[in-house]
Amino acid sequence: MNQLRTTSPCIFVVESDDDVRAVLKYNLQNCGYEVIMALDEDDAIQRTQRGRDRFDLILLNQFGKSINEMIVFGQQIRRNTELNSRTPIIIMAEKYGEDMEGQNIQVGDHDYVTYLEDGQQLKNILYRLCPVY
C-alpha cells in the first residue's frame, strides 16, 4: 500500500552569515521545508554527532573552503548522522565567474554545486532533489 508522506522534508543548512541565515531559513520554510540550522562547521559537527537529527538534504554555503573541502564536509555530516549515502548534498558556491552563474553541476553521485543566479534556481534544485508534497 502506498502511503503519502505526512511530514515536510527537512533540510540541514550550514550558513555562517547571520543576515543570510535568517532569510534563508524563512524562505525555505515558506517553500514547505522543515529547517535545522547550523552556524558553522563546528556547530554542524556537534549537532550531527550520534545521528540525533534526521534530514532529507544537506545545504552548505561555501565559506572559506574549496568546493572539494565542502563536499568532504557534507559527506562527514552525512556519516555522522548515519544518513543514507544517497542523501543529497548541495553546496552554494561562494565566488565564481559569470560563465558559471546559473549552473547546477553534479560533482558526485549525490553531491551538487549550485552557482546561484537567483533564488528561483535554488528552489528548483531543492524541489528536484527533495520534493515537497
Per CATH, domain 10-129 is 3.40.50.2300 = yes
* 38, 14 Cβ separation under 8 angstroms: yes
pLDDT tens digits, one per residue of 75-113: 999 988 888 889 999 999 988 889 999 999 999 999 999
Q: What is the pLDDT of residue 1?
A: 44
The domain segmentation of the chain, as residue ranges, is 10-129
Chain center to CA of 83: 14
Q: What is the pLDDT of residue 6?
A: 56
Q: Which residue has 565559506 as its cell numbers?
A: 63
pLDDT tens digits, one per residue of 21-79: 999 999 999 999 999 999 998 999 888 887 777 899 999 999 889 999 999 999 999 98
* Three cell numbers, residue 57: 538534504
Alpha-carbon Rg of the chain, whole angstroms? 14
**Confidence label for 15 from pLDDT (cuts 50, 70 and 90):** very high
Q: What is the pLDDT of residue 34?
A: 96
